[in-house]
Structure 1
């Protein structure tokens, strides 16, 4: 089976990866949007968890990761719920990790264990992400997960060019199993792009608004027994369709907000919605003359960007809704 990824190119993958990609559990991710409900109000914001999962797998492969780590990368988001992190907001999960809480049970109830067993891979070994140093690293280090969603969104939404992506990818090296960059300039570039992603895009007023409205809809639908938590493992459209058949006036009023013209602006005083997201900081490791160090040790620009990012994240975002 050949896989074509718009960031990393075309790869022929092993049969175990092919079977996992074609599994029901992974195919569901084609219909789970990476950035929650925002695609309902901006159709261009349409990256999916499937796009990201394939990308992480391909990036790990590009960096020389084992087939087992590629499997882990492919499956790392397989338990993401419909509308992704919106469900965390609906359930009050401040660590944004509901999909991690349900991951093992969801996988056990899927077609994944039988596929792995057929190819003599141990399920629990694959799911132990502490083993996979390319796939996951604690912030502020680089990892395939952070790199892919940053590049994928910014490239997909026209904020960076393919040439910039390719130049950055060529700057990546593995050192002691971890992703490093071989140039200070590449690290500074990525820090800038990462904050465009997690601050300018994640905290974009329309993103905040659409996901806030959807979280309120999901809260109401759970409270009024229109849906159950099991329904969170449907696709975005399946879950929304199940809610839309409800005759509850409060739910239907909220749903209309996602299809009505609206203008939302960031403000400091008179606001309708206030949101604080998980603190996300980045400080890539660079390899200079065979010495590993964080780029903030070399760059005042990165120190300044990190300080501003921390301040803005802790402050949160306030938006005003102006109906049209």
Structure 2
């Protein structure tokens, strides 16, 4: 099977990977938008969990990760519910990890264990302990394939970085003992700036905050009215929202009608309609050079300032006025 990815290029993958890609849990991710409800107010915000999952797998491959870690990367997001992290707002989950809480059951109830067993892989050993997959996941503020891919993918797709910049960054990236490092402080500064374009400027964009907030309110109300149940969240985005629309509930449709591409919102700390704080997401890549391994913030005052500004913005949150 030949995979073509807009970030990493073309790759031929093994039969086990092909069968996993063609499985229902992975194919469903084509209908799950990475940015939650954002695509409802800006159709260009259209990156899917499927594209991200393929990308994470390929980045691990490029860095020399084992086929097992590549599979773990491919499958790491299969339990994401419709509209991704919107479900965390529905349930008041401040850790934004609902998909991790249901991962075991979603995988276990799917054809994934059978496919892995067919190729002599143990599902529980491969998927249910991700601490061994150190390219895939690392605690912040380190780099990892998950964090790097969603940053590069979103920012490239949405026109904030060029293909040349992406390639220069990837050329500077290396894996040492199963962990990701950069060779130069210039690459680190570029990625830190790009990462905050993602998690501050994009995630906390007033339009993003508005759409996710209003959709979360809609879904919570639909649950309270027993018009949907928790199993509906394992459908695709459009299937879930269409189910609510077909109920023809006036109260629900009134909220949904506000979520459209022509809505006008702006940030206003004085006259605001909603306020949302973001999960604190900081990045401080490690640089490996002749002096050993050092944090970027130790070598760069610019990185330190960007981190401080990002922390302050996350704590302050976004104040949104609906115009």
Which residue number in structure 2 is paired with residue 12 of structure 1? 12
Deviates further, 249-258 or 42-51: 249-258
Q: Find the residue that maps to 1:257 and give its secondary structure.
A: coil
Give the drift of 1:282: 0.2
Give the drift of 1:260: 6.8
Which residue number in structure 1 is paired with residue 267 of structure 2? 266
Give the drift of 1:247: 2.6
Question: Is the CA contact (8 Å cut-off) linking 2:40 and 2:261 kept in structure 1?
Answer: no
Q: Find the residue that maps to 2:110 and give its secondary structure.
A: coil
Which residue number in structure 1 is paired with residue 186 of structure 2? 185
Which residue number in structure 2 is paired with residue 176 of structure 1? 177
1:253 aligns with 2:254: yes
Please tell me the root mean square deviation across aligned C-alpha atoms, in Å: 0.9
Give the drift of 1:290: 5.9
Give the drift of 1:176: 2.6
Which residue number in structure 2 is paired with residue 195 of structure 1? 196
Question: Is the CA contact (8 Å cut-off) linking 2:3 and 2:12 kept in structure 1?
Answer: yes
User: Within 1, Cα distance between the matches of 2:291 and 2:226?
Assistant: 59
Matches within 5 A, 1:193-232: 193-232=194-233
Question: Is the CA contact (8 Å cut-off) linking 2:42 and 2:261 kept in structure 1?
Answer: no
Aligned length: 322
Q: Find the residue that maps to 1:253 and give its secondary structure.
A: helix
Which residue number in structure 2 is paired with residue 242 of structure 1? 243
User: Which sections of structure 2, spanning at least 5 residues, go unmatched?
Assistant: none
Which residue number in structure 1 is paired with residue 73 of structure 2? 73
Give the drift of 1:105: 0.2
User: Within 2, Cα distance between the matches of 1:302 and 1:252?
Assistant: 45
Which residue number in structure 1 is paired with residue 103 of structure 2? 103
Which residue number in structure 2 is paired with residue 64 of structure 1? 64
User: Within 2, Cα distance between the matches of 1:195 and 1:3?
Assistant: 29
Q: Find the residue that maps to 2:257 and give its secondary structure.
A: helix
User: Which sections of structure 1, spanning at least 5 residues, go unmatched?
Assistant: none
- Hey, which bits of structure 1, 4+ residues long, moved more than 6 A? none
User: Within 1, Cα distance between the matches of 2:270 and 2:154?
Assistant: 31
